[in-house]
Amino acid sequence: MVALEEDLALQVRSYLTALLRDFDGAGPAVDAPTARAVAASLDQVLAILASRRFTHLSRQQSLAHLARMRAPLLADMSAGRPLRFAYDLGPGYHASVRGDFGALCFVPGLGELLALRQIALFDQAVSAVYAPGVDFSLVIDDLCAWASNGVSTDLTANYVQRLQALVAAVGLHHKVRVLAESAVVSTTDYGCAVDRTPLPAWTGAVTAADQENVSRFVGRACSVSEASDYLARYQRAQAVTDALMAKHLPGVRLTQRSTAQCMSFRCFAGSDMRLQTGEVDLLVTERERGRLRPCLITSRNADQHWRWPLQLEQLPVDWPLSIGAVHVAFRKSL
């Protein structure tokens, strides 16, 4: 394949133009709720958050998370301020998608743009029932990546800067901030905290999936023994991160996939995954009908696809990402 066919190029440009258009939407103006109406507005906000657009959890699975959110969101509403969320968006890079696990990616791509659209659409929906809308902190655990995987903060700093530029380019700088661990905790303090924390022994079996996951985040193939060590280091660094970052995370914490403590917030409709485990491409699912959808490409499925980097002529005007950062993917069986 030397170029995208003209009709497909038009469909890709149309899809991406519509994506960017979603950042321009705004809900109908509403008055700030009275004290009596706050509870009703809170129920509406929680219903929006629990909708299939924004979480992969069922209503029943969401109940415990929603119950925990009521107090901090009610505090925001009572103060008349935007509803505050801290959203985990990864370590400041994308894991390798190559079979040899080389070439970590320190450039935001389609996945980040889609995640920002989700935040924009969520804000528009919330603003329709609660005028101040939402504020999001995108949490980047770059120090955790440094301490556990040996990834230099100089490299993740490039990703953070580009992500900040992307937030500004789509006009969300008044609603979204990028909160890197390294911006509020020094490497010295973090390193000292790691040194004070005993390295746990990884006693469980290291599965092939564990070994692959470690390798793609470290950026090279790791042995079972090495993977076991990295898993223990990550467990220690995660404990340090949780302790040091707690006071810096405002409001309700959300994660891309649900945990026992955090509700999931989808990075795009239909997703149930973490952006950082690979790169999000635009998948051609039915070539003859021009159907496109986001698809996570990882080291596990990359060899099943042809990936074509989009060039300037295939992108909308004022495209906010680097040229070549977004790919169209074709299943090799097509």
- Which two structure tokens, joined as six digits, stand for 213? 């996951």
Task: Give me the pLDDT at residue 286, please.
Answer: 65
CB atoms within 10 A of CB 236: 19
Tens of pLDDT along 83-102?
A: 999 999 999 999 999 999 99
Q: Which CATH class is domain 39-274?
A: alpha beta
- The answer, yes or no, to whether residue 2 has pLDDT greater than 50, is no
Dihedral sign of CA atoms 246, 250, 251, 254 in order: negative
Q: Which amino acid is at 285?
A: T
* Per-residue tokens: 242: 């949780």
d(CA 284, CA 23): 24
Is the pLDDT reported for residue 190 higher than 70?
yes
Q: Are strands 279-286 and 291-297 parallel, antiparallel or unpaired?
A: antiparallel
What span, in angstroms and rounded, lies between the C-alpha atoms of 332 and 310? 18
Continuous segment of H or E residues that includes residue 254 = strand 252-255
Q: Is 83 exposed, middle or buried (0-12, 13-18, 19+ CB in 10 A)?
A: buried
The whole-number pLDDT of residue 230 equals 95
Plot region of 290 (φ>0 → left; ψ -120 to 50 → alpha; else → beta): left
With cut-offs at 50, 70 and 90, classify the pLDDT of residue 34. low
Question: What does the alpha-carbon distance between residue 93 and residue 79 come to, in Å, rounded to a whole number?
Answer: 36
Residue 36 predicted with pLDDT over 70: no
Distance CA 317, CA 309 (A): 17
User: pLDDT tens digits, residue range 139-159?
Assistant: 999 999 999 999 999 999 999
Please tell me whether the overall predicted TM-score, pTM, comes out greater than 0.75 for this model.
yes
pLDDT tens per residue, range 220-238: 999 999 999 999 999 999 9
Q: Are 78 and 279 in contact (CB under 8 A)?
A: no
* pLDDT-based confidence at residue 6 (cuts at 50, 70, 90): confident
By the 8 A CB rule, do 191 and 144 touch?
Answer: no
* Amino acid of residue 193: A
**Inter-residue contact 121 to 49 (CB < 8 Å):** no
CA nearest neighbour of 91 among 249, 234, 285: 234
Structural contact between residues 230 and 222, judged by C-beta atoms closer than 8 angstroms: yes
Domain boundaries, the chain: 39-274
Q: Among the residues of 87-223, which ranges form H helices?
A: 110-127, 142-149, 153-169, 181-184, 187-196, 208-218
Query: Is the distance from CB of 153 to CB of 187 less than 8 angstroms?
Result: yes
Angle ∠(28,120,252) on CA atoms, nearest 5: 105
The string of DSSP codes covering 75-108 is: HHHHHT-PEEEEEE--SSSB---STT----B-S-
Cβ–Cβ under 8 Å, residues 275 and 89? yes
Instruction: Please report, as a single letter, which amino acid is at residue 334.
Output: L
Sorting pLDDT into bands at 50, 70 and 90, what band is 30? low
Which residues, other chains included, contact 203 with Cβ-Cβ below 8 Å and sequence gap of 6+? none
